Amino acid sequence: MREKKLEDLFDELHKLQATTLLDALKSGDVSPQLHNAINKFLSDNNVTGIKAENTALKKLSDGLEAYDSGENVSKLFP
């Protein structure tokens, strides 16, 4: 059996870490620390969301825009 190359090991580790984080997120029992770890993992890997139609990111973005444009936000400087 041939020894795995270092980059193959890193690739496997990366996939396992991503899978573990995803499984934890899907379980629904996510601590603030785990959310931070997931966000850091995504940031470290240059993963960004795409605001396509009918996606959670689009709904969140639209909701934030509506909230910001309403009277819900206090202005610090008039």
Residue boundaries of the structural domains of the chain: 6-69
Contacts by residues 70-73 (CB-CB < 8 Å, ≥ 24 positions apart): none
The pTM of the full predicted model, rounded to 2 decimals, is 0.54
Residues of the chain with pLDDT under 70: 1-2, 49-51, 57, 60-61, 63-78
What pLDDT shows up at residue 68?
55
Position 29 scores a pLDDT of 77
pLDDT tens per residue across span 47-62: 776 667 777 767 766 7
Give the pLDDT of residue 11.
92
User: Quick one: angle between helices 32-44 and 6-27, nearest 10?
Assistant: 140
